[in-house]
């Protein structure tokens, strides 16, 4: 007989019960109710598992898939056709070579090549650097000529004059053993000899005044004139006369004594 389970117990099928109910087939037979709390029987039904997604393991062989391991079982992936390959899927070798390439040097040389120079070549002076004052015998050679206004004993206000006179001043300050400097003025043969003598002496004196104004003691400098005497060219051409219009600088005394026995004024006319 078919029975129904209700909240209050089991009743015959001839009664209609309002409420929550469920029809349950007895596992023991058509006339036997299932025991309270019993689960439906799964006997004779093979369990099924969802298929596993493709493997995401980068070390798995190409084309292989993995599935969750079942209790009490051991999962062994199928052998890959290229299992003997020495590279992994990234293209990198799975083992390192046991020997280094023979092209590498086996020792570091203990000596330097003989082609390397042991000394550096002398450095050239920087471009644009002014030449320095030098001496030759009793002469003090400057890197240029001091220029005056035409026919006058006035220094031309040029950068070249400033550079040359500054180097002469520095030479005297750096060489205290030169106790007396002689400035000698010369002219060409144009004009009267007396006028040329005076012009040459006053030009030498103009240089002395500049040196004293810039820090050189007055007693260390003597200004003399020679006029048109002692030319270094024949005065026949403008170029030759330009060479004769000059100013020379001589060492007159060293440590207070005339240099090489020459008089302090050098035989010229001193201007003060």
pLDDT digits (tens, 9 = 90+) for 198-223: 999 999 999 999 999 999 999 999 99
138 shares its domain with 265: yes
Question: Higher model confidence: residue 239 or residue 100?
Answer: 239
Q: Is the pLDDT of residue 45 over 50?
A: no
On whether residue 48 sits in a domain, the answer given is no
Count CB atoms within 10 A of the CB of residue 200. Answer: 28
Q: Domain total for the chain? A: 2
Q: What are phi and psi of 159, to 5 degrees?
A: -60, -35
Strand-pair category, 247-254 with 221-227 = unpaired
Q: Is the pLDDT of residue 27 over 90?
A: no
On whether residue 98 sits in a domain, the answer given is no
Q: What are phi and psi of 184, to 5 degrees?
A: -110, 125
On whether residue 100 sits in a domain, the answer given is no
Range in 75-84, 116-125, 145-154 the model is least confident about: 75-84
Q: Which helix (H) or strand (E) holds 71?
A: none
pLDDT more than 90, % of the chain = 51
Average pLDDT over residues 65-88: 47
Q: What are the pLDDT digits (tens) for 105-146?
A: 556 656 655 555 455 555 554 555 556 899 999 999 999 999
Q: Is the pLDDT of residue 14 over 50?
A: no
What's this model's pTM, rounded to 2 decimal places?
0.54
What's the domain range around 28? Answer: 1-33
On whether residue 108 sits in a domain, the answer given is no
Question: Higher model confidence: residue 39 or residue 182?
Answer: 182
Q: Looking at residue 232, which CATH number applies to its domain?
A: 3.30.1330.60
On whether residue 71 sits in a domain, the answer given is no
């Amino acid at each position: 007989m078919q029975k129904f389970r209700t909240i209050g117990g089991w009743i015959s099928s001839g009664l209609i019960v309002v409420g929550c109910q469920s029809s349950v087939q007895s596992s023991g037979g058509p006339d036997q109710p299932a025991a309270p709390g019993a689960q439906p029987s799964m006997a004779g039904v093979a369990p099924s598992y969802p298929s596993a997604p493709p493997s995401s393991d980068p070390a798995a062989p190409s084309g292989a898939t993995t599935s969750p391991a079942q209790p009490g079982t051991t999962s062994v992936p199928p052998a890959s056709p290229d299992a003997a390959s020495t590279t992994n899927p990234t293209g990198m070798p799975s083992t390192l070579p046991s020997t280094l390439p023979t092209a590498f040097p086996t020792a570091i040389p203990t000596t330097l090549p003989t082609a390397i120079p042991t000394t550096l070549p002398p450095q050239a002076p920087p471009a644009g650097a002014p030449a320095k004052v030098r001496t030759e015998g009793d002469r003090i050679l400057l890197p240029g000529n001091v220029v005056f206004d035409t026919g006058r004993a006035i220094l031309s206000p040029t950068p070249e004059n400033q550079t040359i006179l500054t180097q002469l001043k520095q030479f005297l300050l750096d060489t205290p053993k030169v106790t007396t400097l002689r400035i000698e003025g010369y002219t060409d043969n144009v004009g009267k000899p007396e006028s040329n003598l005076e012009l040459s002496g006053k030009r030498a004196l103009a240089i002395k005044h500049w040196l004293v104004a810039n820090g050189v003691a007055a007693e260390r400098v003597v200004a003399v004139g020679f006029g048109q005497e002692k030319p270094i060219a024949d005065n026949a051409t403008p170029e030759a006369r330009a060479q004769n219009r000059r100013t020379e600088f001589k060492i007159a005394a060293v440590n207070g004594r005339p240099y090489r026995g020459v008089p302090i004024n050098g035989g010229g006319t001193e201007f003060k």
